[in-house]
Amino acid sequence: MLRLLFRSFAFLLSLSLFSCGIPLESSPRGLSAELPDTLIEGAITTTAPPAVLETVEIFLAQDSGDGVMVLQTMERQIEPDGSVNTILAQVLVGPTSKEQEQGFISPLAEGSILVGTVLDGDVLQVQLNSLDGFPIDDSYSNQLAFAMLVCTATELIAGIEVQQVLVLVKQDGLLTSVNAPISDGEPPAEGAPVRCENYVSFLPPDLIEGVTNDLPVDPVD
């Protein structure tokens, strides 16, 4: 009885499928369909992983309220490359539009690009392609520009010990040291490195003591 009912059900089902236009096949076959690339095993996607950013600090200048410019620290988000180049390059970029609204300025203009840096003992050699972005001569603005670069290198870069900065210009494959204008202390020898304490006039009070305490002590005869 059950066998008869099963055969009747199968017969009716086949009639129903036939009437709906669905062909019946005597043997199974494989089916294929186009799949989105993202669903295919081993597919290559164009989505790049998010960059790993690092927070660093640089010096920018801000009017203290009486027309005197003072260096202040500002944070930057950079993609670290294992060198200090990306940090110092931010000094050359200067303040953002929002920071400019807050009174931050930079005497640096477009034109100077950081080529590279070399640490020689406690002297960081900063190599630029030109001084086109720096104010000319030993003006107040030029001193301020060097103060931002030098003090960022000596006071704000972690992981290396930098006491002095030597700025060089690289042209036609040759490096020429720059006579950096200073605001404080004895003028350095021609083409000699400079220190952050050579720009004490631009430092806020809370930084002056720490910078001057780092001065080397002359040996007592």
List the domain range (segments joined by +) for residue 178: 54-205
| Contacts for 6 with CB less than 8 Å, ≥ 6 apart | none
Asked if 162 and 88 count as a contact pair (C-beta separation under 8 A), the reply is no
- Residue 172 resides in a domain: yes
Model pLDDT for residues 179-210, shown as the tens digit of each residue: 999 999 999 999 999 999 999 999 988 888 77
Q: For the chain, how many structural domains are there in total?
A: 1
Neighbour count for residue 184 (Cβ, 10 Å): 16
- Residue 19 resides in a domain: no
Residue 107 has pLDDT above 80, yes or no: yes
- Residue 214 resides in a domain: no
Between 49-53, 77-81, 215-219, the lowest mean confidence (pLDDT) is in: 215-219
- Residue 193 resides in a domain: yes
Mean pLDDT computed over 53-64: 92
User: pTM of this prediction?
Assistant: 0.73
Residue 11 has pLDDT above 60, yes or no: no
- Residue 122 resides in a domain: yes
Instruction: State residue 35's pLDDT score.
Output: 47
- Residue 38 resides in a domain: no
Q: What are residue 118's DSSP bridge partners? A: 125
Backbone angles phi, psi at 56, to 5 degrees: -130, 170
- Locus of tokens 């036609």: 172
- Residue 184 resides in a domain: yes
- Residue 30 resides in a domain: no
